[in-house]
């Protein structure tokens, strides 16, 4: 290889780097790996979890959620988004306040039709999220 400019270290800089490398190599191997989100990591990866619920879940109310149907592990969570029908979604732990719904599978909500163009909204009677077909809206001309 031809001479290429490189990085040059002073002796004190090289000694500082070597000292850090030796310290890391001598350290415990059981610690957590580097993480951009150390607070999530400190919770053992359990701060956001996938779950399901089997009944209509109105806004600001609690419901029993199931994390893993195979083990039937359940918890109580608060809906902090909008009213939803039975479905699947994600909850996040809010410290000692417990679990809160932070996202849901919109395709599980009432009225979803994969083969139609639809609008997503909520019922005016109960505030539960639902899908509306654009061909059956009150203002549709087709």
Find, among 115, 141, 111, the residue nearest to 129 by Cα. 111
Question: Residue 69: which pLDDT band, with cuts at 50, 70 and 90?
Answer: confident
Find, among 61, 24, 62, 52, the residue nearest to 108 by Cα. 52
Name the percent of the chain in helix, strand, coil, to the closest 5.
20, 35, 50
Question: Residue 134: which pLDDT band, with cuts at 50, 70 and 90?
Answer: confident
What DSSP designation does 139 have?
T
Question: Residue 33: which pLDDT band, with cuts at 50, 70 and 90?
Answer: low
Calculate what percentage of the chain has a pLDDT beyond 90.
42
In the prediction, which pLDDT does 32 show? 56
Question: Residue 28: which pLDDT band, with cuts at 50, 70 and 90?
Answer: low
**Across residues 41-56, what is the average pLDDT?**
77
Q: Rounded to an integer, what distance in angstroms lies between the CA atom of residue 50 and that of residue 36?
A: 21
**Across residues 62-79, what is the average pLDDT?**
90
Calculate what percentage of the chain has a pLDDT beyond 70.
77
In the prediction, which pLDDT does 76 show? 95
In the prediction, which pLDDT does 56 show? 96
Residue whose pair of structure tokens reads 């350290």 in the numeric block: 27
Could you state, in order of their start, the residue ranges of all structural domains in the chain? 48-142
What's the maximum distance between 2 C-alpha atoms anywhere in the chain? Answer: 80
What DSSP designation does 47 have?
S
Provide the H-helix boundaries in the chain: 11-26, 38-41
Residue of 44 and 105 predicted with greater confidence: 105
SS3 label, residue 92: strand
Whether 71 shows a pLDDT value over 90: the answer reads no
pTM for this entry? 0.60
């Amino acid at each position: 290889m031809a001479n290429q400019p490189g990085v040059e270290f002073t002796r004190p800089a090289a000694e500082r780097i070597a000292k850090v490398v030796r310290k890391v190599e001598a350290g415990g191997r059981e610690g957590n790996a580097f993480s951009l989100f150390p607070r999530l990591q400190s919770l053992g990866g359990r701060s956001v979890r996938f779950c399901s619920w089997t009944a209509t879940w109105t806004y600001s109310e609690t419901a029993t959620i199931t994390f893993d149907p195979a083990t039937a592990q359940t918890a109580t969570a608060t809906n902090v988004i909008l009213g939803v029908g039975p479905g699947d979604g994600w909850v996040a732990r809010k410290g000692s306040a417990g679990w809160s719904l932070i996202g849901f599978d919109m395709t599980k909500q009432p009225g979803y039709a994969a083969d139609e163009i639809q609008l997503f909204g909520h019922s005016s009677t109960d505030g539960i999220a639902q899908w509306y077909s654009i061909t059956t809206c009150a203002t549709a001309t087709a």
